[in-house]
Structure 1
Amino acid sequence: MTATDLKSCLSWLLHIVHPGFGSYTVVGGDNLNDIAKDFGTTSTQLAAMNGIPDPDSIKPGNNLVVPCV
């Protein structure tokens, strides 16, 4: 199992355990700040929820755990 597989499994599990959360797949042109605004949170909180040390490190195809709005 790769780290990506594990993160995907954890994202799925978080959605079950905490039904107030969902997932979002990063697309080209996205940045953490705009994604956070779309989901009613901050980029700092979104980075912490997803274990992202560098907000500029997200790439298209990354799956993020996000709050449901």
Structure 2
Amino acid sequence: MLLAVVVSAWAGATTMALLLGAAAVARVVAPAPGPVALTVRSRPVDVVVLVLLAVGVGILAQLIPEA
């Protein structure tokens, strides 16, 4: 991500976690068939995977020292 290069790795990782969370919310509330990029698997699988990725990246982002 350009943000990670221009600003900091912490900002890039935090932004990525927020975007993954937003994608999970979009997958939950979007009517069928929903966004093509987000409707590869069943809705529950997509939401669980996106939430787990958002939480994981968010935790890792907090471990990166801010510069």
Common topology (TM > 0.5):
no
TM-score by length of 2: 0.29
TM-score by length of 1: 0.28
Q: Which has the larger radius of gyration?
A: 2
More helix per residue:
2
